[in-house]
Amino acid sequence: MTQSKSEKSSIVVDRKKEKDKPPTKVVIRRLPPSLTPETLLEQISPLPNHDFFYFVKADLSLGQNAFTRAYINFQNHEDVFIFRDKFDGYVFVDGKGNEYAAIVEFSPFQRVPKRKSKKSDAK
């Protein structure tokens, strides 16, 4: 399964089609470290049509730089801007009253899982 660098033949094929598509995967960053995915979804609902969402817990070892974040892939490109206008700079408040201004950006890595039946790993 491993490969030598020179071969560079691999699973993640350069996806030409995707390159030409406008970006739709968005990251919302610098959220309160104590935030839960449930609370986030509550606060940003109703979330437009999306086919991918995941939430990342904070790395608490980073102290004051510990944040949660979430990735969302919108199905309609227009929704990206509506979401950005609404939540970029939006202040989230944690249980203790601390304020966190969120940053909404295109995710630098636009890939999302392909929708296909999961290949089970026979190992």
Partner 1 sequence: PEVQQVAKKIRPPMHEYIRKLLYKDLSKVTTEKVLRQMRKLDWDDTEIAFYATKSLIAVWNVRFNSIHCAANLLAGLAPYHEHVAIQVVDGVLEDIRLGMEMNHPKFNQRRVSCVKYLGELYNYRMVESAVIFKTLYSFITFAVSYDVNMPSPLDSPEHLFRIRLVCVLLETCGQYFDKGTSKKKLDCFLIYFQRYYWFKRSNAIWVEETRPFPIDIRNLVQDTLEAVRPKLKLSENFEEALKACEDLENEYKPRVASVLPIIETDEGNTSEADDNLTT
Tell me if 121 contacts partner 1 by CB under 8 A: yes
Within 10 angstroms of residue 25's Cβ, the number of other Cβ atoms is: 18
Q: How far is the CB of 104 from partner 1 (least distance, A)?
A: 9
Out of 34, 53, 84, 94, the residue judged to bind partner 1 by CB under 8 A: 84
Q: What residue type is assigned to position 48 of the chain?
A: P
The two tokens of residue 89 are 């700079």
- Asked if residue 26 lies in contact with residue 72, where contact means CB atoms within 8 angstroms, the answer is yes
Tell me if 62 contacts partner 1 by CB under 8 A: yes
Tell me if 76 contacts partner 1 by CB under 8 A: no
ω into 46 cis (within 30 of 0)? yes
Out of 45, 46, 99, 123, the residue judged to bind partner 1 by CB under 8 A: 123
* First vs last C-alpha separation in the chain: 11
- Asked if residue 12 lies in contact with residue 113, where contact means CB atoms within 8 angstroms, the answer is no
Residues near partner 1 (CB under 8 A): 1-3, 5, 8, 10-15, 19, 22, 27, 29, 54, 56-57, 59, 62, 65, 67, 69, 71, 80-81, 84, 105-109, 111-114, 119, 121, 123
